[in-house]
Amino acid sequence: MTSEDAVFKAIAHPARRGIIRLLAVSARSVKELTAEFDMSQSAISQHLKELKEAQLVASERSGLEQRYRLTPQPLRYILKWSEGYRSLVDPSGHIWALAPTGHATRQQAAERKSRHGR
């Protein structure tokens, strides 16, 4: 598996994306990360292993505990890939090109009207 594939595999799981989000703010121990999720410490450790394999996370010993920090360089693969879709988003951040068109839009509008009594 290439480094790029490892990064996409690593971010595929919502828990790992959550860990990345937390580590983007500050380094944390497994214990601190476990407190943020509804899963066991061993499950968090397994997710950290996946993130380390993708080189998204590094660790260093601080006293008795291992502290994990984000290593953002591999995120460049995601940014590079998503750049191919920039034309679908206007400068204001609206995603008009991805919005449903035609009948689906009218149907959704009708559903909204009926829900709101209008």
Please indicate, yes or no, whether residues 109 and 70 belong to a single structural domain of this protein.
no
105 found inside a domain? yes
Please indicate, yes or no, whether residues 71 and 91 belong to a single structural domain of this protein.
no
Q: What is the pLDDT of residues 32-62, one digit of tens each?
A: 999 999 999 999 999 999 999 999 999 999 8
pTM (two decimals):
0.73
Domain with 63, as residue range(s), is 3-75
Q: What is the pLDDT of residues 11-33, one digit of tens each?
A: 999 999 999 999 999 999 999 99
Please indicate, yes or no, whether residues 69 and 97 belong to a single structural domain of this protein.
no
SS3 sequence of the chain: CCHHHHHHHHHCCHHHHHHHHHHCCCCEEHHHHHHHCCCCHHHHHHHHHHHHHCCCEEEEEECCEEEEEECCCCHHHHHHHHHCCHHHCCCCCCCHHHCCCCHHHHHHHHHHHHHHCC
**Top-confidence residue, 111 or 8:** 8
Please indicate, yes or no, whether residues 36 and 62 belong to a single structural domain of this protein.
yes
Give yes or no for residue 63 having a pLDDT over 60: yes
